[in-house]
Copies of this chain bind each other. A is one copy, B any other.
Amino acid sequence: MREVERVLAANEAFYTAFAARDVEAMEGLWSQRAPVACIHPGWQPLHGRDSVLASWRDIMSSPTSPPIRCTDPVAHMLGAAAVVICTERFPGAELVATNVFVEEDGAWKLVHHQAGGVARPSGDDEGETLH
């Protein structure tokens, strides 16, 4: 499998774990050694594996946690790191996300995630924004 396909597979595994509320799988997908951060939509940034994984445990344990599906992933390879940009689809809502990975012990692991809302669904022109 080419590196880009391995990165996209790691990205898909992230959304599979999220949709399945599989805490153990989610913990295994994040880097053990690299610095880790996460910006959930509307949240202040979280830094550090403990804070980030605690946030995912809280989110995935919520009975109102909506189903999520990832579409249109694009991976940009940056040597030993990679950025995946994708759309997160929820019932009635759409977010866009940045997921950053590093290679660790032969596998691509998450080190950063940011998701944010889009003013208009994909296909429309760009929305009005602060910048």
Q: Which residues of A approach B to under 8 Å, CB–CB?
A: 18, 34-37, 39-45, 47, 59, 65-66, 68, 74, 76-81, 83, 85, 88, 90, 93, 95-96, 98, 100, 102, 111-112, 114-120, 122, 124, 126-131
> 7 more A-B contacts (CB under 8 A) besides A41-B131, A43-B118?
A37-B74, A37-B76, A42-B120, A43-B126, A59-B131, A80-B81, A114-B114
The answer on a CB contact under 8 Å between A42 and B81 is no
Partner of A111, one of B35, B68, B83, B127: B83
**For A122, what are the chain B residues with a Cβ–Cβ distance below 8 Å?**
44
**For A37, what are the chain B residues with a Cβ–Cβ distance below 8 Å?**
74, 76, 83, 85
